[in-house]
Structures are given as C-alpha cells and as structure tokens.
Structure 1
C-alpha cells in the first residue's frame, strides 16, 4: 500500500503546551516553590523555546509507505565524520541552542558551565537520535549529523558564556537574580 501522511506540529505540540499551561497553573495556585513570579516566567519561556526547537527539528511528522518510503539504508543517513561538511548551515544550529545555555542555569542554580554544556549536548543527541528513529520507523528523509551535535553544543556554551557576561554588571545581575528567584521562598 502506497501512502504519505503528515502529523502536523500543532496536533502534538499544541496539546503538550496546553498540558504544561494547566500544570503550571495548578503549581502556581498550590503555591509550589518556583512557580510564581520570575521563575514561572522563565519556565514558560523555556517551554515555548522547547516547543519551537521541536517544531524545527522533529515536526511535522511525515509518514511514508510503499513507493513513497525512502529505501536508502538508515546507515547512509548518519554523518559521523566531524566538520567534513561544515559550512554556514551550522550557524542556525549554533543560534538555536544559545537560549538553552542561557536559560538552564537560571532555572537550575546548581548547574555549572560544564553541566550546562553537557545537558545541551545530551539534548542535541536526543534530537539526532529522534531524527534517526523517524527515518527508520517512518521512512522520512531526516539525516543525522555529528556537525549538528557540535554546533548545538557550541550554541549552549555560547549561551552560558553570554549569561556569565551579563551577570558581570550589577544591574543585570540583580534583574536576573530577581527573575530566577521565587518571591515566596527565596529560591
């Protein structure tokens, strides 16, 4: 049977963001620490950011069958040699992960620079593995590239470096501290 169909981005991410909004509202009403004021705003921004990244990297989901299915071996979809095909197309991948490197330490105060960068690398690896699984299971044409992993991780590092730079000024440090601290608990 030959077919091609699409699961739209909004069909998956719309309900996911709605569930997050209901969860956030319940946590806020229950006076849960970190779910009021600045931290709540940071959590909402992070949720919207994650939704945007997923809409670029994973969605929409295309499902192919029969003659429409990509028949190339899945191993041909993996580019394991770093920087072999490096060019300006890596720049959007760098830019895409800068906000993650900036936001994570604001929400998780225990994250050091190394842990933030490691988390960004793991998030990027998760995206690449999801794209590979999509290729294998759904027959779409997404490729897995080590350069994306490198660029995304570097973007996370730049985001963390930007946060460190911004924190050097007293006014910015005070504003960031206020936005990342829960007013009721001082967290």
Structure 2
C-alpha cells in the first residue's frame, strides 16, 4: 500500500510539473520525455526503495563498512551473483544513455558524464540510506558506478546506430 502512495505522488508530480509543458511542444517530445520520467522513476524505485528517513536517535556509525570502494571486488572474490549484478547494472542504464541522447542531443562525453552523475546520486543515496537507517541491503559500490556508466555508453552507442531512423521519426 505504501508503494501505491509513492507512485500516486510521482504521478501527481508528473501532471503538475511536466505533462503540460511537454505536451505544449509536441506529442513526440511528450512521449520521449514521459518515457524518460517513467524510466527514472523505475530506476529509483529499484535502487532506493525503501529509502529510510533519518532516525531521531542517531545514525549508523558503521555505514562505511557497507561501502565497496574496490572495483569489481565481488567478481575477483568469485561472489556467486557478481556477473549477474554487473550485467543487470549495465542493462539498467542502457535506456538512460539512449533516451538522454534523444532528449538532449549532446555528445558522448556529456552523455557519459550525465550517466555517471545519475549513478553517483543513486550510489550516494544508498550510502546515506545505510548511514541513516543501517540498511544492509543498500550500499555504495564503485563497481555499480562503473557498470552503470558503461551501460549509459552502450545506450548512447545504440542511439548512434539508430540516429538516422530516430531523427527521421522525430521530424515527421
């Protein structure tokens, strides 16, 4: 039930702040931007929910122990789900690189930097969640940052391959 209210709030935010502005431009812009909004909402849902509210009685001083600052540590340690996590992180960010390239029409460096910053915000939020609430299921992982950024690059590469078709459809 709690997620229902979260999604309703996101739907209200969409209609109050974005729908009318995007719809005034064109239906194609509305569709692309709405896809990006829905995509970002789903990524935040998967990576941050439930996000804990800071506790009044203090913080978890051991939160840095949940963080991983060694790239591909799980893979090197033969952690059973490491390859799966790497693949999922790459796949999760492909739509970002693809859709952001359509919306902003910027070069590879800006797309990679935007993907990196989006991923960094998620990772820092997970670190803060562990600090505030002590949630062990959410933690900062440098591997996630690397693989997410690579996923954005893959999405941008797909955009480049499909760019003539995309521009043709958008001009109609």
TM-score by length of 1: 0.76
1:177 aligns with 2:152: no
* Matches of 2:2 and 2:130, distance apart in 1: 17
1:133 corresponds to which of 128, 137, 148: 128
Q: How many residues align?
A: 163
Q: For residues 28 and 84 of structure 1, do their structure 2 counterparts lie closer, same or farther at Cα, with a shift above 3 Å needed?
A: closer
Tell me the residue number matched to 2:40: 50
Q: How does 1:1-187 map to 2 (within 5 A)?
A: 8-27=2-21, 31=24, 35-62=25-52, 73-86=62-75, 87-88=82-83, 89-109=85-105, 111-141=106-136, 142-167=138-163, 173-174=164-165, 176-178=166-168, 180=170
* Matches of 2:17 and 2:53, distance apart in 1: 31
| Structure 1 unmatched runs, 5+ | 1-6, 168-172
Query: 1:75: Cα distance to partner?
Result: 1.4
The answer on whether the counterparts of 1:117 and 1:153 sit within 8 Å (CA) in structure 2 is yes
Which digits, 9 at most, give the CA deviation of each residue in 1:2-27, with x for residues without a partner?
xxxxx933333431232112333432
Bigger helix fraction: 2
Q: For residues 36 and 153 of structure 1, do their structure 2 counterparts lie closer, same or farther at Cα, with a shift above 3 Å needed?
A: same
The answer on whether the counterparts of 1:64 and 1:140 sit within 8 Å (CA) in structure 2 is no
TM-score by length of 2: 0.83
Larger radius of gyration: 1
The answer on whether the counterparts of 1:8 and 1:60 sit within 8 Å (CA) in structure 2 is no
| Structure 2 unmatched runs, 5+ | 76-81
The answer on whether the counterparts of 1:116 and 1:156 sit within 8 Å (CA) in structure 2 is yes
Query: 1:43: Cα distance to partner?
Result: 0.5
Bigger strand fraction: 1
Query: 1:80: Cα distance to partner?
Result: 0.4
SS of the aligned residue for 1:60 comes to coil
| Higher deviation after alignment, 136-145 or 99-108 | 136-145
